[in-house]
Structure 1
Amino acid sequence: MRISVVEGDITERQVDAIVNAANSSLLGGGGVDGAIHRAAGPELLEACRELRRTRLPAGLPVGDAVATQGFRLPARWVIHTVGPNWNAGQRDRALLASCFTQSLAVARELRAGSVAFPAISAGIYGWDRDEVAATAIEAVRSVKPGSVELIEFVLFGDATAAAFTAALHRAG
């Protein structure tokens, strides 16, 4: 399994699945979540509403993951995960790691060969980007890849990309 760090727009990645740093409602929001919803088109919102009506009436729990189609995105699927909110007192590193491992479990179920992740919880949810980077790299390296041959961390901004690059180098 190859792991790479890319600075760019996750909605433009030519991968099988992109991971959405969603909120528990799955109904869109700001940051990465809003960008993915805008790029995927209104069909994504309708698919998320259907998930809420059927499988997830209380919303998606923190640390869990679920997939929808990618609709108008280059990616075939969107894997939605809810990161812990540091600002709301959700400071358990295991919950953050679960976002990455559960997203990869969903990717394996989909038989995705390539997956792009954002810096889950490093934005408005207030987690330190260095801690997110270290947790993300450790988490994805801890799981058996199955069908996943490529993991990209697609990040916004030099500082976040540098944090993930440093964490990847530290991990060997």
Structure 2
Amino acid sequence: MKTIHLIQGDITTQKVDAIVNAANTSLLGGGGVDGAIHRKGGAEILEQCQEIRAKQGGCSVGEAVMTTAGQLPAEYVIHTVGPIWQDGQAHEENLLKNAYQNSLKLAEQQHFNSIAFPNISTGVYRFPKVQAAAIAVETVRDFLKQSTHTQEIYFVCFDKENFQIYQHLLEQTQSHDIQVLGL
């Protein structure tokens, strides 16, 4: 059965096929999740990000690229760039949905069974947390209904506030075809 896992914790400790990095367009590391992944994963992640930059000039908002996970317990890192919140005036909802969809498509193309997401764009990019969580949950549920290879999605919330937002949304939207663990 396809499963959504809800965890309060550190995404860099997840043993899954791929973790998602809430990256910036430069792919060179930054603060928050991005900085933690680069620090704990080691130089190999940055080296591969630099190779991607040399080929295509970074990663656009809403797009996704993949590297090794270096020293992390996951196998790969999918780097996606969420939008900076501009009061909803710059198509941020669609761009955030694209960030989740393109990460999921990459996981499916690679035949990954499991993928873990942080709370994309809700930190320094200031996307409203409830709105961002609703987009994440809806996008993941729609994806799981048609995915072939990807069976397990993890929402890894670093803080209690995001965890409770996701918990509430997932409780409200339970369905018989997708199991939700961690509520």
CA shift for structure 1 position 91 = 4.6
Instruction: Calculate the TM-score normalised by the size of structure 1.
Output: 0.95
Q: 1:12 to 1:50 in 2, by over 3 A?
A: same
* Matched residue, 1:25: 26
CA RMSD of aligned residues (A): 1.2
Is 1:169 paired with 2:171? yes
* Matched residue, 2:113: 113
1:63-119 deviations in whole A, cap 9, x for unaligned?
Answer: 111111111110000000000100486453111111111100000111111100000
Instruction: Calculate the TM-score normalised by the size of structure 2.
Output: 0.89
Q: Secondary structure at the match of 1:86?
A: coil
Matched positions, count:
170
Q: Which amino acid aligns with 1:82?
A: V
Of 81-90 and 39-48, more deviation after overlay is shown by 81-90
Whole-angstrom CA distance in 2 between matches of 1:12 and 1:41: 14
* Matched residue, 1:38: 39
Whole-angstrom CA distance in 2 between matches of 1:46 and 1:103: 20
1:30-58 deviations in whole A, cap 9, x for unaligned?
Answer: 0000000011101110100000111x22x
Is 1:77 paired with 2:79? no
* Matched residue, 2:101: 101
Report percent identity of matched pairs.
45
The unaligned stretches of length 5 or more in structure 2 are 175-183
1:11-48 deviations in whole A, cap 9, x for unaligned?
Answer: 00011100000000000000000000011101110100
CA shift for structure 1 position 146 = 2.1
The answer to whether the 8 Å contact 1:87/1:125 transfers is no
Of 106-115 and 139-148, more deviation after overlay is shown by 139-148
Whole-angstrom CA distance in 1 between matches of 2:41 and 2:148: 27
Q: Indicate which of 146, 149, 160 corresponds to 2:148.
A: 146
Whole-angstrom CA distance in 2 between matches of 1:81 and 1:39: 18
Q: Secondary structure at the match of 1:154?
A: strand
